[in-house]
Amino acid sequence: MDRVRGRAPSPGLVAWLTVVWVLLWGDITVANIVNGVILGATVAVLLPLPRVKGLGAFRPLAVAVLVGRFALDAVRGALEVAAVAFRAVPPRSAVVRVALRSHSDVILATTAGLTSLIPGSVVVEAHRLTGVLYLHVFDVVGEDLEEAVERVRRTVLAQEERLMRALSSDAELADAGYRPGWRVGSGELDASSGEVRP
């Protein structure tokens, strides 16, 4: 009985597989929906997905902060890239190395994805074992190159923190060096040393 209970399919996964099945058929009918549920449940039981570290919580307020700030950054990035076209000075590009705080593959991949979706930067390489992202920045703004690169690192780490506060458990936050809770910026992150300063 425990073995059957342990292999019970996730309702969310079954629903998602059902939606995919109906979309593949291109016709919303009762038969397609029923077949999708049966097939989704069968696949979920026979081919269970491994448990994923890094999604230990769901905090609605932190998710709202994450989505709102991402939308703001995307608009600002698009405006900055557009402004380069009207600028006399050519852009100063750089490849920046950022060591993330989390040990979760999901957080690494999602941070890389969110960073690449913001115009002006794209992740060119991600090291899973070390948790390091290398991103190409279209235009590193600032007189001092070191300070400009450090600002890029802080931006990526802030993105990772917002993501972790939205989806990671308090234990995962503490493991990454952040104070538990949903509020972003409860500790000042020193990007170079990787320490959290109160």
In a domain, 34, yes or no: yes
If you average pLDDT over residues 104-111, what whole number do you get? 92
Residue partners of 117: CB distance under 8 A and separation at least 6: 70, 74
Instruction: Indicate whether 12 and 73 sit together in one domain.
Output: no
In a domain, 33, yes or no: yes
Instruction: Indicate whether 64 and 21 sit together in one domain.
Output: no
In a domain, 54, yes or no: no
Q: How far apart are CA 46 and CA 168, in angstroms?
A: 28
In a domain, 171, yes or no: yes
Do the beta carbons of residue 53 and residue 104 sit within 8 Å?
Answer: yes
**pLDDT score at 109:** 93
Instruction: Indicate whether 74 and 33 sit together in one domain.
Output: no
Instruction: Indicate whether 87 and 179 sit together in one domain.
Output: yes
Instruction: Indicate whether 37 and 95 sit together in one domain.
Output: no
Q: pTM of the entire structure?
A: 0.70
pLDDT score of 90 more than 80 = yes
Instruction: Indicate whether 74 and 172 sit together in one domain.
Output: yes
In a domain, 42, yes or no: yes
pLDDT in tens, 41-82: 998 888 887 766 656 788 899 999 999 999 999 999 999 999
Instruction: Indicate whether 71 and 123 sit together in one domain.
Output: yes
> Residue 103 is which amino acid?
H
Q: How far apart are CA 125 and CA 96, in angstroms?
A: 10
**pLDDT score at 6:** 54
CA angle 120, 121, 126 (to 5 degrees): 170
| Residue 167 lies in domain | 60-197
Instruction: Indicate whether 116 and 150 sit together in one domain.
Output: yes
Instruction: Indicate whether 93 and 165 sit together in one domain.
Output: yes
**pLDDT score at 12:** 80
pLDDT in tens, 124-136: 999 999 999 999 9
In a domain, 13, yes or no: yes
Instruction: Indicate whether 7 and 72 sit together in one domain.
Output: no
In a domain, 53, yes or no: no
Instruction: Indicate whether 39 and 118 sit together in one domain.
Output: no
In a domain, 161, yes or no: yes
- What is the tally of structural domains in the chain? 2
Instruction: Indicate whether 72 and 6 sit together in one domain.
Output: no
Going by C-alpha positions, the residue among 103, 77, 94, 80 that lies closest to residue 160 is 103
Q: What is the DSSP letter of 131?
A: T
pLDDT in tens, 142-189: 778 889 899 999 999 999 999 999 988 888 888 888 888 766 654 444
